[in-house]
Chains A and B, each alone.
Chain A
Amino acid sequence: MELNEFVENFAEQFDDTDASEIKAETVFKELEEWSSLIALSVIAMVDEEYDVTIKGDDIRNSSTIEDLFNIVKSKA
Chain B
Amino acid sequence: MAFLSISNVAIKGMSACVPSCIEENKDVPLYTPEEAEKVIETTGVERKHIVTDSQTACDLCFRACEELLEKLSWERDSIDLICNVTQTSDYINHPNVFVLHEKLGLKNDCMSLDLYHGCPGWVVGLSTVVSLMSHGSIKRALLLDGDNISSLQYGQDREGRPLFGDCGTATALEYDESASPMYFQTGTNSKDGEALIRKKGGFRQPYTLEEYQQEIGMRSGELSTDGIEDLMDGMSVFSFGISTPPKSIKQLCEHFGLSLDKVDKLVLHQANKFMVQKIAKKLKVELDRVPFSLRDYGNTTSASIPLTIVSQCANEYSTRPMKTLACGFGTGLSWASVYFETSGVVCPEVVEI
Contacts and interface: CB of A to CB of B under 8 A. Distances in A.
A54 interface: yes
B236 A40 contact: no
B234 A56 contact: yes
Nearest to A47: B242
Contact of A36 (B234, B239, B242): B234
B242 A55 contact: no
B192 interface: yes
B235 A55 contact: yes
A56 B236 contact: yes
B242 A44 contact: yes
> Which 9 pairs between the two chains have the least Cβ-Cβ distance?
A56-B235, A56-B236, A55-B236, A56-B233, A53-B243, A43-B239, A40-B238, A53-B239, A37-B42
Contacts of A39: 235
B161 to A, nearest CB: 13
Contacts of B235: 36, 39-40, 43, 55-56, 59
Interface in A37-75: 37, 39-40, 43-44, 47, 53-57, 59
Contacts of B240: 53
Contacts of B243: 47, 53
30 contacts: A36-B159, A36-B234, A36-B235, A37-B39, A37-B42, A39-B235, A40-B42, A40-B234, A40-B235, A40-B238, A43-B235, A43-B238, A44-B238, A44-B242, A44-B278, A47-B242, A47-B243, A53-B239, A53-B243, A55-B192, A55-B233, A55-B235, A55-B236, A55-B239, A56-B195, A56-B234, A56-B235, A56-B236, A56-B239, A57-B236
A21 to B, nearest CB: 20
B274 interface: yes
A55 B39 CA distance: 21
Secondary structure dominating the interface of A: helix
A24 to B, nearest CB: 22
Most buried by B among A39, A40, A55: A40
Nearest to A39: B235
A2 to B, nearest CB: 22
A49 to B, nearest CB: 13
Measured as residues with beta carbon below 8 angstroms from the partner, the interface class of chain A is 10 to 19
A36 B232 CA distance: 12
Nearest to A43: B239
Interface in B1-59: 38-39, 42
A18 B195 CA distance: 33
Nearest to B244: A53
Contacts of A59: 235
Most buried by A among B192, B195, B234, B238: B238
Nearest to B42: A37
Most buried by A among B192, B238, B239: B239
Interface string B214-243: 000000000000000000011110111011
Contacts of A55: 192, 195, 233, 235-236, 239
A36 B39 CA distance: 10
A14 to B, nearest CB: 13
Given A37-B42, A40-B42, A53-B239, 7 more contacts: A36-B158, A36-B235, A40-B238, A43-B238, A47-B243, A56-B235, A57-B236
Interface in B228-274: 233-236, 238-240, 242-243, 274
Contacts of B236: 55-57
Contacts of B234: 36, 40, 56
A43 B38 contact: no
A6 to B, nearest CB: 17
A40 B233 CA distance: 11
A55 B242 CA distance: 12
A37 B38 contact: yes
Contacts of A56: 195, 233-236, 239
A54 B239 contact: yes
